[in-house]
Amino acid sequence: MDCKVAYNRAYRQANKEQVYEIERKSKIKKAYGISVEDYDRMLKGQGGGCAICGTTVPSERTRYFTVDHCHATGKVRGLLCTKCNRGLGMFNDHVQRLQSAADYLKRGM
């Protein structure tokens, strides 16, 4: 058993990019029901950037945009940068609360 663990660890270390892409494909399909090709089409349809702010930089740490989805229905809405995704998350997908925050910001201008 220890030999297999050591082999797997060495393989993952030697093939980081390949393993990362395989895990990414699996995660996107399992979590959101879309393929990497679907993801790529969505990103192209969004002009290559975040669906909210348009940035072409997903985050400081990751190479990919977050798949945003409705937590009630599971329906995929678009691809977001980390900042926009976290911002929406802080409002718990509550549209009226988010609108109130936007109105508040407008009053301060």
CA distance 41 to 9: 34
CA distance 97 to 91: 7
Query: Is pLDDT larger for residue 3 or for residue 83?
Result: 83
CA distance 51 to 109: 24
Q: Which long-range contacts (CB under 8 A, 24 or more apart) does 85-92 make?
A: 88/52
Q: What is the pLDDT of residue 72?
A: 86
Q: What is the pLDDT of residues 69-101, one digit of tens each?
A: 988 898 999 999 999 999 999 999 899 999 999
Superfamily of domain 2-107: His-Me finger endonucleases (3.40.1800.10)
Q: Quote the pTM value.
A: 0.79
In percent, the amount of the chain with pLDDT more than 90 equals: 61
Q: What is the pLDDT of residues 48-68, one digit of tens each?
A: 999 999 999 998 888 899 999
Q: Are strands 76-80 and 66-69 parallel, antiparallel or unpaired?
A: antiparallel
Where are the domains positioned within the chain?
2-107
Query: How many residues are present in the chain?
Result: 109
